[in-house]
Amino acid sequence: MITRRGLLWTGMQLTAAGALVAAGSAARAADAGACADSKMDSGLATSLHYTEHSPDPAKPCAGCGFFTAGSGGCGACSIFNSNVNSNGHCDSWAAKG
């Protein structure tokens, strides 16, 4: 049997779960967007696992052949056709030649 109390409790749980999902999505978007501009394709960034902080200190964006240095720790990436963090990394990283 469904009671008002049970219905309210379920509604509160669903609201809290939705807030947690939204907060997680916002955190991922912020991680991918500190240097990124509006031109960055977020689907491409996700598929290439772009992150603002390289998990491998030997392979930051600044050492990639697709990266052109800019200012303030950011630069341009020809893969994303957008700005990226010089300390970032993605799966398309290739050493400057």
- Residue 69 corresponds to which tokens in the numbers above? 């240095």
Apex 58 CA angle, 82 and 52, nearest 5? 35
Residue 66 has pLDDT above 90, yes or no: yes
Q: Quick check: 46 and 72 in contact, CB under 8 A?
A: no
Per-residue pLDDT tens digits for 6-61: 888 888 888 877 766 665 544 444 444 578 778 888 899 999 999 999 999 999 99
Residue 63 has pLDDT above 50, yes or no: yes
